[in-house]
Structure 1
Amino acid sequence: MKLGIEGKTAVITGGDSGIGLATAKILASEGANIVLSDIKQDSLDKAAEELRAYAANAKIIAQAADLSNYDSVLKLAEVADKEFGGANMLINCAGARGAAGDFLTLTDEDWQKTIDTDLMGAVRVCRAFIPQLQKNGWGRVVLVASENAFQPYEEESPYNACKAGIINLSKCLSRAYSNDGLLFNCISPAFIETPMTDAMMDERAKNEGTSREEAVKSFLKSDRPNLEVGRRGTAEEVANVIAFLSSELASFVNGSNYRVDGGSVESAFG
């Protein structure tokens, strides 16, 4: 199925691994130009080489950016504009679990650091790239939220709040800019095989004195009993949905949130 994005430019944050890199592979294979971004240039360069090997004819730029610094985000936007005439697609996969623990133990600094990365990072990239999308007259923005926005876990209160905020932000922007040909949507993954959940499971394995695989099994049983498919999702499974939302095929999808969660969210209407 053709996505109708050949020759268009996608800016993907959080692109050095996981969902971001998996999305880049799909879009590049469909003929899109890729501006791949993450915070560390060395890991980003490795990801870009992997992407070039996957989609040999794709035009790919790797540009590091710190989403907690607006000047750094503006530099990313400048690169996209200089190299490709600006973005047509913006996919914000960058984020971190942030501070976690008992609510009463979390400080203002803990909260602010998580907000600055997970919520304000999305705000900054949208503010920097919406003018390019408007200029080009066609735009798709996909912001990565989380199951935590609908089914919050008590030890992750800052992350929960940020991801709920991202969904609200996306809906707000979908109302503000749809007349400019821009469509905004979210996806909410649950327990996906990414470096972030690998780190969580490695920590759990260390505490339990077991392997990562066994830690995943115990986590599913005790913490994610509603994840009906009984496994972690893959980055590619999430990327497939992002690619659709980034495409011409999603021309009547705006202000929506797609749960890619294997059934993890218990409610039917979240």
Structure 2
Amino acid sequence: MDLKIKDRIAVITGGDSGMGLATAKMLAAEGARIVLTDIDEEELQQAADEVRKLASTSDHVKTFTADLTDYEEVKSLAANVRKAFGPAHIVANFAGARGAAGDFLNLSDKDWMETINIDLMGAVRVARAFIPHMQENEWGRLIFVASENALQPYEEESPYNASKAGLINLSKCLSRAYSKDGLLINTVSPAYVKTPMTDAMMEQLAEERNSSVEEAVNWFLENKRPHIEVKRRGKPEEVAAMVAFLCSEHASYINGTNIRIDGGSVETAFG
């Protein structure tokens, strides 16, 4: 399918691995100009090399490091994108972290604020910096990446749950405010996708259970995510395919919604 995004300028936060990198590859293959951003320069360059193999030309892929907890860095990122390519048309915000986890009564204000600062406020800063780009273009696609946790919270991850639920609300709010300017703003909610974040979780679980990582994954599926009916972890490309569609001209009547990509993980029909 031709997504009709040739030469659109797409910014992918959290773009050095996982779902962000998979999305960048798909958009590059469709002819978009890609800006990858994350905090580690070396990992960004490695990711960019992968994306360039699919891009129209190597010059259509740029990288800029940025810490989304610092609004000055986010503003600099937006300025660098403008200087490199022009005002952005597409922003997919994959940057995030599991953050502090554990018994609610043992989590401090610092634990909460560190998680909120990246998972919710990072998205707020990105939106604030790039919505003016899209208004200038009179066309835009802004995609937030939430989680199954927003709809089906897990008791040991309360800061992450709350932050991701906030993203869905933020997306709906902004879709109401900026549709008049040609922007479509949506959220996707993946579940248990194979990413560096969930890899680290499984490695920790394997250590705690004195098992292999594969055994830890199988235990987690059976005991913690029993409603993933496909009985496996998701693939980054399976999330990227939906994000790429939402960035396309074909998604022109999808706005202010949240799409679950969870293998059935959310137990209820209306979550």
Normalising by structure 2, report the TM-score: 0.99
**Per-residue deviation, 1:52:** 1.0
Backbone CA RMSD of aligned residues: 0.7
Tell me how far 1:57 sits from its aligned partner: 2.3
**Match of residue 145 from structure 2:** 144
Shift of 1:55: 2.9
Partner of 1:50 in structure 2? 50
C-alpha contact (below 8 Å) 2:31/2:56 kept by paired residues? no
Equivalent residue for 1:13? 13
CA distance in 2, matches of 1:86, 1:56: 19
Task: Give the letter for the 1:4 counterpart.
Answer: K
Cα offset for 1:49? 1.0
Gaps of 5+ in 2: none
Distance (Å, rounded) in 1 between the aligned partners of 2:82 and 2:56: 22
The range that moved more, 18-27 or 33-42, is: 33-42
Give aligned pairs, total: 270
1:212 and 2:213 matched: yes
Residues 228 and 265, structure 2, Cα contact 8 Å, conserved in 1: yes
Q: Is the 8 A contact 2:87 2:133 kept in 1?
A: yes
Which structure 2 residues correspond to residues 182-197 of structure 1 after superposition, within 5 A?
Answer: 182-197=183-198
CA distance in 2, matches of 1:38, 1:116: 15
Question: Any idea what the Cα deviations from partners look like across 1:82-128, whole Å, max 9, x if unmatched?
Answer: 11111000000000000000000000000000000000000000000
1:201 and 2:199 aligned: no
Asked if 1:254 corresponds to 2:226, the answer is no
3-state DSSP of counterpart to 1:201? helix
SS at match of 2:38: coil
AA at the equivalent of 1:44: L
- 8 Å CA contact 2:14, 2:93 repeated in 1: yes
The residue that corresponds to 2:237 in the other structure is: 236
Q: Could you tell me how far apart the structure 2 residues matched to 1:229 and 1:235 are? A: 15
Q: What are the Cα deviations for residues 184-242 of structure 1, in whole angstroms up to 9, with x where unaligned?
A: 00000000000000000000011111111110000000100111000000000000000
Letter of the structure 1 residue corresponding to residue 219 of structure 2: S
Aligned-pair identity (%): 62
Aligned AA for 2:54? Y
1:3 maps to 3
1:201 and 1:224 map into 2 onto residues whose CA distance is: 13
Distance 1:87 1:131 in 2: 9
Question: Is 1:61 matched up with 2:62?
Answer: yes
Name the amino acid aligned to 1:246: C
SS in 1 for 2:53: helix
Superposition misfits of 4+ residues, deviation over 6 angstroms: none
Aligned partner of 1:117 in structure 2 is: 118
1:8 maps to a residue whose letter is R
Give the SS at the match of 2:227: coil
Amino acid across the alignment from 1:262: G
Partner of 1:178: 179
Tell me by how many angstroms 1:56 deviates.
Answer: 5.3
TM-score by length of 1: 0.99
Instruction: Report the AA paired with residue 43 of structure 1.
Output: E
Unpaired segments of 5 or more residues in structure 1? none
- 2:268: which partner in 1? 267
C-alpha distance in 1 between matches for 2:124 and 2:56: 33
Assess if the C-alpha contact under 8 Å between 2:228 and 2:264 holds in 1: yes
2:100 aligns to what?
99
CA distance, structure 1, for counterparts of residue 86 and residue 137 of structure 2 = 8
Structure 2 counterpart SS, 1:188: strand
